[in-house]
Structure 1
Amino acid sequence: MRKLVSIIIPAYNEAENVRHIFDKIKVVFDTLPYNWEVIFIDDGSKDETINTVMALSKENNNVYFLEFSKNFGHQLAVKAGLDNAYGDCVVSLDCDAQHPPEIIPDMLVKWEEGYDIVYTIREEDKRLSKAKRSTSNLFYKLVNSLSDIELEAGTADFRLLDRKVVNVFRNFHETEPFLRGLIKWLGFKQHGIHYSPAERFAGSSKYSVKKMIHLALHGVTSFSIKPLYTAVYLGLSMSLLSLLYIPYVIYAFYSHIEVSGWASTIMTIVFFGGLQLIMLGIIGIYVGKMFMQTKNRPNYIIRSTNLKDQS
């Protein structure tokens, strides 16, 4: 009996890419001895994404969709796909075709060799601006230095998970899952495959610098409390440095030296005020995570789907 490969594709305003990525996947699986299905997760798109997917599902009996009630974010869209995919293994990739489906056969080979997780590592894309590449490298350095996980630079959300790994994932109910980190944290037998990203077929990237910063902060605070220790060490260091000011105060007192100007005073206040805000912000992120988690709200809401409950 042929094994079933489930492919999950989160999509946000990707109407122009839906048919293109499906056609590329179909070409790949026409040469492989597997049954396969594609599950599109519409993440609250404002264009014709869901209508395009629905039309595609009527033309192909192995195309399914999950339509979110609003935009819940890429990571939760992938999580929803994992929650609703029942293949012997599950492959996740983006809808913009930058994750080349042509890599899937190599991933399946490693899976058949016994690897539970086959993840991909993106080679540096020279077509991107220097600023974009620098930001990406900084993201991984920040996550690795301030968290308890180690991510290779270029690790992508293009991966294959064995059925038993997916079953474990379904027990996770974090409000903001950082999937790249969770994959590393899970353990299991893992293998990385390098790939060169293809050009986006249509549309533009949904990851702005602001979203990258948010993802980095979220990744760090999801797997470590090192930032809290860093804040403590920074505050202690500043307190010790402030002791160096005491000799000057004593000297000025006995020498009757007038303290000139207010600029230095204001600068000191602003500096330490900013430092305190950073520390409070770090603490606030952790408290906020606990606050959102205790609400126990559903991670996402499905507005419509053509998937039948297989649980």
Structure 2
Amino acid sequence: MKKPILYIVIPCYNEQEVLPITCSMFLKKILELIDREKIDEQSKILFVNDGSKDNTWEIIVELSKKNPHYIGISQSRNRGHQNAVLAGLMEAKDKCDITISIDCDGQDDINAMDQMVEEYWNGCEIVYGVRSKRDTDTWFKRTTALGFYRFMNSMGVDLVYNHADYRLVSSRALEAFSDFKEVNLFLRGMFPLVGFKSTSVYYERHERIAGESHYPLSKMLSLAFDGITSLSVKPIRIIVALGILISLISFIGVIWSVSVRLMGHSVDGWASTISTICFIGGIQLLCIGVIGEYIGKIYMEVKKRPRYIISEKTGTIYEKEN
């Protein structure tokens, strides 16, 4: 097997504090792999600027001038982490043999790339980076993360437990993945759908080197909901089952009330009536909300708007839509 060309894809949003620190770590790792003849010397570090409002893009441009292993592309505006990763993967797809996507903050263990590349040499097309433990997380984050994975699995979504977006993907797998055209992206749930031979590499996650996290609770909840609605219709089926159950209970209630009335034992029940109306009304609004969310996703999909627009790349300016 010839030495593969590797592109390390790194999404960046307002990372001016951490990027000058971690960029040298990525360069050191890629040079190590080249020296050990595991990858080709044409391998690159591809930064994807996700519409940053600080000096992130300027830093990327300066890095590309200092070393040919650094390259970068910039989205025309902020589109979110998942779209930024996708933009980088699709940009690299036809220029390399393998990609490794990783965040810029230095939390994911860069040394896990060695084993990822080794697994590629062993024939794996997709290698998932999986956290071995969550000691650096707060109790709340550990608990909610565990609940998230269990809930997603119960919804029928095939997820690799404790895997985020740190993964190696071959160009052949990316070519197949490019046929997935949905706008509602949840990459960690979509890649298992591609198939091909895969495995996992385990590593310990560290504290963020500098700067602040760009994934507060609200964004994590939004990502989780996107994952459920993009990969599972089970909530709709739960609504159907709930509707049947409530209808059955209501039918029994109707029979009971008519029977009581015929026997002449009816008693005015204002409280029970109001409670029943409020309960059924709440269930109806919840179900309508879930269905409305799916309809909203369909609305976004049928318009087929581009998932990203690249406005610049290091050395030139151009436009590309996908």
SS at match of 1:165: helix
Question: Is the 1:124–1:133 contact (alpha carbons within 8 Å) kept by the matching residues of 2?
Answer: no
1:53 and 2:60 aligned? yes
Kindly state the Cα deviation for residue 252 of structure 1 after the two structures are TM-superposed.
4.6
Name which of 194, 202, 208 aligns with 1:200. 208
Task: Name the counterpart of 1:22.
Answer: 23
The gaps in structure 1 that reach 5 residues or longer are none
Name which of 285, 288, 291 aligns with 1:280. 288
SS at match of 1:217: helix
Amino acid at match of 2:13: Y
Q: Give the 3 Å change call, closer, same or farther, for CA 200–21 of structure 1 in structure 2.
A: same
Task: Name the counterpart of 1:231.
Answer: 239
The gaps in structure 2 that reach 5 residues or longer are none
Distance in 2, matches of 1:214 and 1:129, equals 20
SS at match of 1:282: helix
Amino acid at match of 2:248: L
Task: Name the counterpart of 1:11.
Answer: 12
1:133 and 2:117 aligned? no
Amino acid at match of 1:55: E
Question: Is the 2:136–2:205 contact (alpha carbons within 8 Å) kept by the matching residues of 1?
Answer: no
Kindly state the Cα deviation for residue 9 of structure 1 after the two structures are TM-superposed.
0.4
Distance in 1, matches of 2:58 and 2:121, equals 36
CA shift digits 1:259-295 (9 cap, x unpaired): 2444x43332232222112222222222222211111
Of the structure 1 ranges 265-274 and 245-254, higher mean CA displacement relative to structure 2 is found in 245-254
Name which of 74, 82, 90 aligns with 2:99. 90
1:103 and 2:132 aligned? no
Name which of 155, 170, 173 aligns with 1:146. 155
Name which of 142, 160, 177 aligns with 1:169. 177
Name which of 30, 40, 48 aligns with 1:41. 48
Kindly state the Cα deviation for residue 48 of structure 1 after the two structures are TM-superposed.
1.6
1:69 and 2:69 aligned? no
Kindly state the Cα deviation for residue 153 of structure 1 after the two structures are TM-superposed.
2.1
Question: Is the 2:112–2:129 contact (alpha carbons within 8 Å) kept by the matching residues of 1?
Answer: no
Distance in 2, matches of 1:138 and 1:307, equals 45
Identity value in percent? 36
Amino acid at match of 2:204: S
Of the structure 1 ranges 165-174 and 55-64, higher mean CA displacement relative to structure 2 is found in 165-174
SS at match of 2:111: helix
SS at match of 1:298: coil
Count, aligned residues:
308
SS at match of 2:32: coil
Question: Is the 1:75–1:176 contact (alpha carbons within 8 Å) kept by the matching residues of 2?
Answer: no
Amino acid at match of 1:75: Q
Question: Is the 1:82–1:170 contact (alpha carbons within 8 Å) kept by the matching residues of 2?
Answer: no
Kindly state the Cα deviation for residue 257 of structure 1 after the two structures are TM-superposed.
4.2
Distance in 1, matches of 2:276 and 2:313, equals 58
TM-score, structure 2 normalization: 0.89
Distance in 1, matches of 2:13 and 2:277, equals 45
Question: Is the 1:120–1:158 contact (alpha carbons within 8 Å) kept by the matching residues of 2?
Answer: yes
Question: Is the 1:82–1:169 contact (alpha carbons within 8 Å) kept by the matching residues of 2?
Answer: no
SS at match of 1:138: helix
Distance in 2, matches of 1:265 and 1:14, equals 57
Kindly state the Cα deviation for residue 173 of structure 1 after the two structures are TM-superposed.
2.2
Kindly state the Cα deviation for residue 251 of structure 1 after the two structures are TM-superposed.
5.6
Q: Give the 3 Å change call, closer, same or farther, for CA 267–203 of structure 1 in structure 2.
A: farther
Of the structure 1 ranges 162-171 and 225-234, higher mean CA displacement relative to structure 2 is found in 162-171
Distance in 2, matches of 1:76 and 1:21, equals 22
Name which of 182, 187, 191 aligns with 2:195. 187
Equivalent residue runs for 1:265-304 within 5 Å: 265-304=273-312
Cα RMSD (Å): 2.0
Amino acid at match of 1:194: Y
Kindly state the Cα deviation for residue 2 of structure 1 after the two structures are TM-superposed.
4.2
Amino acid at match of 1:31: E
CA shift digits 1:146-205 (9 cap, x unpaired): 12x422320120000111112222233211221111111111000011111011011222
Kindly state the Cα deviation for residue 38 of structure 1 after the two structures are TM-superposed.
0.9
Distance in 1, matches of 2:21 and 2:250, equals 62
